[in-house]
Every structure is written in structure tokens, then in C-alpha cells.
């Protein structure tokens, strides 16, 4: 599948979900991304059935990263009904993420 079709499939999948989506744009070489991972795992446990969590490696998904305007990693995007509700760049605490996800529900 070419990258444009992959981007469209991802966007369609996110839009059709009725629950919020937290998209983690990261990279394997990124130290702060590794720091963010356990925080996201904690938040995912809290919202396991209420929020869909997606991890996007920006090196493997450049077109998708470009579509979302990702310029630094980690970048976290909370989206619902195809609309970006909140965006965070850098390591973000579990409290901040949980608070924003509760607002999105």
C-alpha cells in the first residue's frame, strides 16, 4: 500500500471511532519518547475501554507525521470525531493527559 493510501486509511479509522483517540508520535531513537512510554501505559490502563491509543513512529510514517504537522517528538494528539482537541509536545504528565482525556469523553 502506498503511503498516501496508508495516511487516508489511518485518518478514516480515527474519524470513524466514536471515542477519543490519543495518538503518540514518537521515534525509537528519542530519549524523551522512551520517558513518555510508561506514562502513556499508565494512562492507557486508566482509560482502556474509553480511549483508543495509537503509536506512530515518525520515521516509518513520514506522510502521516507531515499531515499532522509533527515537528518534534514526542508529540501527543488527542482527537475525536476527526477534530484535534489538544496537542502536546514534549514529555507530558499522566495527570495532564488524564485531565484532557476526561474532557474529551
Residues recognised as catalytic: 30, 33
CA 35/CA 15 separation, integer angstroms: 28
Ramachandran angles phi, psi of 21, nearest 5°: -125, 130
Peptide bond into 74 cis (omega under 30): yes
Amino acid at each position: 500500500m502506498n503511503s498516501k493510501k496508508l495516511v487516508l486509511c489511518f485518518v478514516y479509522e480515527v474519524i470513524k471511532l466514536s471515542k477519543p483517540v490519543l495518538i503518540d508520535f514518537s521515534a525509537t531513537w528519542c530519549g524523551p519518547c522512551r520517558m513518555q512510554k510508561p506514562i502513556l501505559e499508565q494512562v492507557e490502563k486508566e482509560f482502556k475501554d474509553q480511549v483508543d491509543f495509537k503509536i506512530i513512529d515518525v520515521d516509518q510514517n513520514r506522510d502521516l507525521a507531515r499531515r499532522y504537522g509533527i515537528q518534534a517528538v514526542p508529540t501527543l494528539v488527542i482527537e475525536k470525531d476527526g477534530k484535534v482537541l489538544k496537542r502536546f509536545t514534549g514529555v507530558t504528565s499522566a495527570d495532564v493527559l488524564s485531565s484532557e482525556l476526561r474532557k474529551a469523553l
